[in-house]
Amino acid sequence: MATYKKLKSDRRIENFTWSVVSYILLVIFLIFFLFPVLWMVMTAFKPNLEIATNEIPLGIMNPTLENFTFLFQETGFTIWLGNSLVVSFATTIFSVIAGTLAAYALVRYRLVGSRIMGMSIFVTYLLPQTLLFIPMAIVVRQLGLYDNMWALVVVYPTIMVPFCTWLMMGYFRAIPRDMEESARVDGASRWQAFFMVTLPLAVPGIISAGIFTFTMSWSEYLYALVLVPSMEQQTIPIGVPNALSSGDVYVWGSLMGAALLGSLPVVIVYALFMRFFVSGMMQGAVKG
């Protein structure tokens, strides 16, 4: 009996020790990754003089909105924000639809070389953009879309569709064929079985693919820099640094304000759909 109590006490001590260590590591992790966000928020609300002197690095003596006022009145931030929203939503809608249909066809139909085709689609996602932006620029110019934000809607799916297809292939493999076959026996066509049975079960995967596509489209830099040089057609990642920096002079307050406002749509999307994103990514990774 005494031995059992001792073992039980030792186990409690061990569990308590591991809990303390876990919380300490979690706090260190949060401090390390959230400190830049804290610095960004504080800088966005600091006056320029306070930023230059940096008397209180981790505090704000005189909070102000002048950085945001300058951002909206003296730059084209609202135009860049609208362009980013249009490009990101259009790219997301097209890429998710194309990736979902391609993944379903590769998984459900007995196509010759479907496995090799599926792997090849994902390999194209791994190709570096630095090898592709010159051919992409030539294609975009031939299409007459150079210096137009719609060029980004044409180019971005070349990155997004392969990943969406790979992710959705893993999700469709996890859905039993028997459910579709039962619907077919009951008189449903293949399209009806797909839309009424398979697609609702794949919603978490579709949402996670959409979140990934939206995030990548929102923050993409290289193609936007090469294909859209004019200020009126640019997105936030290009317009903001071009307008708020000149040589080695940076308008740090407005830059941080633009970074803060520019990150809000992505934060909102993740906050609303994080549960689906995690489950979809895990399912795609395991089954893909």
User: Does residue 285 register a pLDDT over 60?
Assistant: no
In a domain, residue 276? The reply is: yes
User: Does residue 279 register a pLDDT over 70?
Assistant: no
Q: Does residue 42 come out as left (phi exceeding 0), alpha (psi in the -120 to 50 range) or beta?
A: alpha
Output the pLDDT for position 286. Answer: 45
In a domain, residue 57? The reply is: no
- 34, 109: one domain: no
Number of structural domains found in the chain: 2
Distances (CA, A) of 244 to 77, 176, 232, 247, 257: 11, 53, 15, 10, 11
- 202, 120: one domain: yes
- 8, 124: one domain: no
**pLDDT band at residue 253 using 50, 70 and 90 as cut-offs:** confident
> pLDDT per residue over 172-201, tens digit each?
888 888 888 888 788 878 888 888 888 888
In a domain, residue 103? The reply is: yes
How high does pLDDT run on average in the chain? Answer: 83
In a domain, residue 126? The reply is: yes
**pLDDT band at residue 150 using 50, 70 and 90 as cut-offs:** very high
In a domain, residue 193? The reply is: yes
- 275, 151: one domain: yes
Output the pLDDT for position 82. Answer: 93
In a domain, residue 68? The reply is: no
Cβ(91)–Cβ(157) below 8 Å: yes
Largest CA distance in the chain: 84
- 16, 102: one domain: no
3-state secondary structure (DSSP) of residue 46: coil
Output the pLDDT for position 282. Answer: 53
What is the DSSP-derived secondary structure letter of residue 186? T
In a domain, residue 204? The reply is: yes
In a domain, residue 63? The reply is: no
- 36, 128: one domain: no
> pLDDT per residue over 54-73, tens digit each?
666 677 778 888 989 999 99
Cβ(45)–Cβ(67) below 8 Å: yes
> pLDDT per residue over 117-140, tens digit each?
767 776 776 777 777 888 888 889
When comparing pLDDT for 162 and 275, which is higher?
162
Distances (CA, A) of 284 to 163, 164, 174, 208, 255: 10, 10, 9, 10, 37
Domain CATH code at residue 253: 1.10.3720.10
- 124, 241: one domain: yes
> pLDDT per residue over 27-38, tens digit each?
888 888 888 888
> pLDDT per residue over 157-171, tens digit each?
988 988 888 888 888
- 102, 19: one domain: no
- Residue 101: both structure tokens together: 């249909």
Element holding 245 (H helix, E strand): strand 245-246
Q: Which of 210, 183, 206, 209 is nearest to 196 (CA)?
A: 183
- 88, 196: one domain: yes
Structural domain span for residue 120: 75-287
Q: 202: Cβ–Cβ under 8 A, 6 or more apart, which residues? A: 100, 168, 171, 172, 175
Sign of CA dihedral 58, 256, 156, 279: positive
